[in-house]
Amino acid sequence: MKICYLDAFSGLSGDMLVGALASAGADEAALVEGLNSLSTGARFRFDRVMRRGIAAHKFLVDEGPEHGHHHRHLEDILGMIDAGSLPGPVKHNATAIFRRLGEAEAAVHQVPLERVHFHEVGAVDSIADIVGAALGFHLLGAEKIVCSPVNVGGGTVKTEHGVLPVPAPATAALLKDKPVYSRGPQVELTTPTGAAIATTLAASFDVLPPMRILATGYGAGDRDFAEQPNVLRIIFGEATGAPESTTVAVIEANIDDASPELLGHALERLLEAGALDVTISPLLMKKNRPGSLLRVIAVPQDRERLAQLVFAETTTLGLRIYTAERRVEARRLVEVETPHGTVRVKVSDSGNFAPEFEDCRKLALSSGVPLKQILAEANSAYLKKVR
Question: What's the confidence (pLDDT) of residue 120?
Answer: 47
Residues 246, 301 contacting (CB under 8 angstroms)? no
Domain identity same for 225 and 265: no
HSE value, Cβ hemisphere, 13 Å, CA-based, for 386: 12
Domain identity same for 216 and 350: no
pLDDT band at 244 (very low <50, low <70, confident <90, very high): low
Checking 177-180 for CB contacts under 8 A at 24+ apart, the result is: 177/301, 178/149, 178/150, 178/205, 178/301, 179/149, 179/150, 179/205, 179/300, 179/301, 180/149, 180/150, 180/151, 180/152
Q: Single out the residue in 226, 242, 258 at which a domain terminates.
A: 242
What digits encode the pLDDT tens for the residues 193-208? 999 999 999 998 888 8
Domain identity same for 206 and 192: yes
Q: Single out the residue in 192, 220, 242 at which a domain terminates.
A: 242
Residues 269, 314 contacting (CB under 8 angstroms)? no
Domain identity same for 219 and 257: no
Domain identity same for 218 and 302: no
Domain identity same for 167 and 126: yes
Domain identity same for 148 and 280: no
Domain identity same for 282 and 194: no
pTM of the model as a whole: 0.68
Domain identity same for 292 and 316: yes
Percent of the chain scoring above 90 in pLDDT: 72
What digits encode the pLDDT tens for the residues 295-311? 999 988 888 999 999 99
Q: What is the CATH number of the domain that holds 372?
A: 3.10.20.300
State the Cα angle at 289 between 283 and 291, rounded to 5°: 35
Domain identity same for 67 and 14: yes
The CA distance from 45 to 33, in Å, is 11
Domain identity same for 250 and 382: no
What digits encode the pLDDT tens for the residues 343-385? 999 998 788 999 999 999 999 999 999 999 999 999 999 999 9
Question: What's the confidence (pLDDT) of residue 241?
Answer: 62
Checking 37-40 for CB contacts under 8 A at 24+ apart, the result is: 37/84, 37/85, 37/86, 38/80, 38/81, 38/83, 38/84, 38/127, 38/128, 38/131, 39/80, 39/83, 39/84, 40/67, 40/80, 40/124, 40/127, 40/128
Q: What is the CATH number of the domain that holds 261?
A: 3.30.70.1380
pLDDT, mean over the chain: 91
Q: Judge whether residue 7 has pLDDT over 60.
A: yes
Q: Single out the residue in 242, 258, 291 at which a domain terminates.
A: 242
* Structural domain for 260, as ranges: 245-328
Domain identity same for 276 and 354: no
The domain tally of the chain equals: 3
What digits encode the pLDDT tens for the residues 90-108? 999 999 999 999 898 888 8
SS3 337: strand
